[in-house]
Amino acid sequence: MPTLVRPRGLEAYFNEHPDVEIVIFAGKGGLGKTTSSSSLAWYMSQVKKKRTLLFSTDPQASLSDIFERNFYGLGEIEVAPNLFVVEIDADRRVAEYQASVKQKIKDMYGLDAVPREIEEYIDSTSAEPAMYESATYDAMAELVAAHEYDIYIFDMPPFGHGVRMVAMADILSKWVEKITEARSKVAEYDAIAATLKGEKGHEDAVMQELIDIRNKIKAFTDLITDRRRTAFFMVLIPEKMAILDTERALAMFHALGMEMSGLVVNQVYPRELLDRPGTSEYLRNRVLMQQEHLAEIARKFGDRVQSVVPMFTREPKGLEMIEQASRYLMNCEMALEA
C-alpha cells in the first residue's frame, strides 16, 4: 500500500521556529528559488507584519523580473508595507572594494600612486569568482549587522555558487584572521621601534579595520550556522537531475556541518489532470512522468519536504501572483505518494 507524505507548508515550519531571522533559498537556476523567496517575503511582511528584507545574490536581477520593476544596484526599495527589496551590483561593489584597497596602500605608505605591478594585481582580482562571492557575502553580512529588519530572506544564485557562498563564511573568517595576526606582529615591531626612538606609536587604522571585518564576519557566520535563527531551504522540481542535485546539496551541507531545514518541490502538475477528459496527451505524459519523480522524492526525502507548490497557469510575476504563490507555499495542499 502506498505511503503518503503530507507536507504541512512553510507556515507550520515558521510557527515552530519563531526565532528564525535569516532564510536562505538555494537550488539550481530556473526551479523557482526567486518565486519561493518572494512568496515567503510577501507572507512575512503582509501576514506576519514583520519588517522584511528580500535580498538577491543572483547577478541576473531576477527580483526585478518577478516584481516587474528595476531594483538592480539601487539599494533597499520598499515595494509594499514592511517589504523591502535589494539587488546588489556585485561588479560595482568589487570595483569599490578595489579602490578602497588602493587608497589604503597609498595612505599606509604615504604614496601618491600605487605601484603599477600592485595596481595590476588588484585589478586582476575582479576576474576571480571568489571576489564576487566575497563581495556578495560581505554585503549580506553588512545588511544583517545593521539590525534594521526583523527577517532577512536571501535568494541565492544557482546551486554551485550558493553552496560555496555558505562555505565562504569559514574561508573569509580564516583569511582575515591570518592577515590580522600578521598585521598584529608588524604593529608590535613598529611600537617597539617607536619606543626605542623615543617616539609615540601611532594607531594602526588598517589593523582596526581588519578587526572590525573579522568581528562582522564572525557574527554573521555564527548566525547562519545557528539553526535556531537561520533556515536553509532547497528548491527542486520533479525531474531526475533536480533530485540528484538535491542529494548532492544535502551531502555538501552535511560536510559543512550544517543541515538543510527543508525542501520545496515546485512546478508540480496536479494529479487530477489525468482524470479530465480534455487533458492533452502531452500534458498527460508530463503528469505521469512527474508522478514517478514525486514518488522518488517522497521515498528519498520523506518529511524533509516542507511544501509542494503547483505549476501555475501563467508566469508568477507581479504582486498579485506573488501573493497567490505565497498561499500555496505557506499552506501546502498537495500530498506525495511514495
Model pLDDT, residue 182: 64
Question: Cell numbers of 30, please?
Answer: 530556473
Q: Which fold has domain 4-95+124-161+227-330?
A: Rossmann fold (3.40.50)
Secondary element (H or E) of residue 263:
strand 262-268
Each residue's pLDDT, cut to its tens digit, for the chain (338 residues) gives 667 888 999 999 999 999 999 999 988 888 899 999 999 999 999 999 999 999 986 666 689 999 999 998 888 999 999 999 998 877 787 787 778 778 877 776 677 888 887 777 667 766 655 566 667 777 888 888 889 999 999 987 665 545 555 565 566 666 666 666 665 666 665 555 555 555 554 455 555 666 666 677 677 777 777 889 999 999 999 999 999 999 988 888 887 777 889 999 999 999 999 999 889 999 999 999 999 999 999 999 998 999 999 999 888 899 999 999 999 999 998 888 87
209 touches 180 (CB < 8 A)? no
Is 0.75 topped by the overall pTM?
yes
DSSP state of 158: S
Are residues 168 and 141 in contact, defined by beta-carbon separation less than 8 angstroms? Answer: no
- Other Cβ atoms less than 10 A from the Cβ of 101: the count is 15
Which among 216, 234, 223, 231 has a CA at the least distance from the CA of 177?
216
Strand pairing of 52-56 and 151-155?
parallel
Which residues does residue 241 pair with via DSSP β-bridges, in sequence order?
none
Comparing C-alpha atoms, which of 1, 35, 4 is closest to residue 337?
4
With CA atoms as reference, report the closest residue to 159 among 251, 269, 38: 251
